[in-house]
Structure formats: structure tokens, C-alpha cells
Amino acid sequence: MSVSATEIRDRAGNDLGLLRLGQSLQPQDASRITQGYAEVYGKLKKNGLATWAYAGSVPDELAPDVVALTCLNCMETYSLSNERAQRIYAKAGQNGELAYRNIRDNMVTDYGLPQNEPDDF
């Protein structure tokens, strides 16, 4: 299974307090969060961490961290309560370092990169 870019956007909207279950994002919020995801995707791609196409689906195990990074990217646009901001920081890290580390770790364990020393012949 995987999560579409639209689902990433909506999950970020929910975490930012802009979207309730059963509702749709306002067009300006959908646009801002989509742009936030594009910026996150670009940084992940540049660092070799985005293994999916921009319009493609994010692997399930990476989705929570991509959502957290998207929220972090959009936080300055919206007035968030301290509690909501702290929840986002807890998921992403203050500068996104926790989410990037989680994505990197998942890339190593889930995509077959070696985790141990090679045999010395």
C-alpha cells in the first residue's frame, strides 16, 4: 500500500488543524500545502531519499514522516496553538531532523541497502 500526494496534503491539513474529517480544504490552503509538499519532495529528491515520483504514491512507512515535514514547511503560514506546534515538532524534530533520519533509516532497512560490514575475501 501507499499514500497519494492528495492524501499527504489532506493529512497535513488535518495535523495543521485546517481540515476536519469529512471536510475539504479551502482552495488557498490546498494550494499552500501542495506547495509545501513539493518543497519537501524536492529536498528529499535532491538528497536521494524520494524513491517515488512527485505525483506518485509515497510508501506507507515513509508517509508519516513526509506529512510531518510538510506540516513543518507550512507552519509559519498558519497560526497554530503551542500544543499543535509541539505535536508537529515531536513528529518531525525541530528542524525536520527526526523525520529525515526516519526516512533515511527506512531506506536502509526497507530497500535492501546493506546494514552490516561486507565479507572480507
Residue type (1 letter), 106: N
pLDDT at 109 over 70: no
What are the domain boundaries of the chain?
Answer: 2-108
State pLDDT tens for residues 10-59.
999 999 999 877 789 999 999 999 999 999 999 999 999 998 999 889 99
C-alpha to C-alpha distance for 12 and 103, rounded to whole angstroms: 17
At 28, list the grid cell: 488557498
Output the 3-class SS for 31-88: HHHHHHHHHHHHHHHHCCCCCCCCCCCEECCCHHHHHHHHHHHHHHHCCCCHHHHHHH
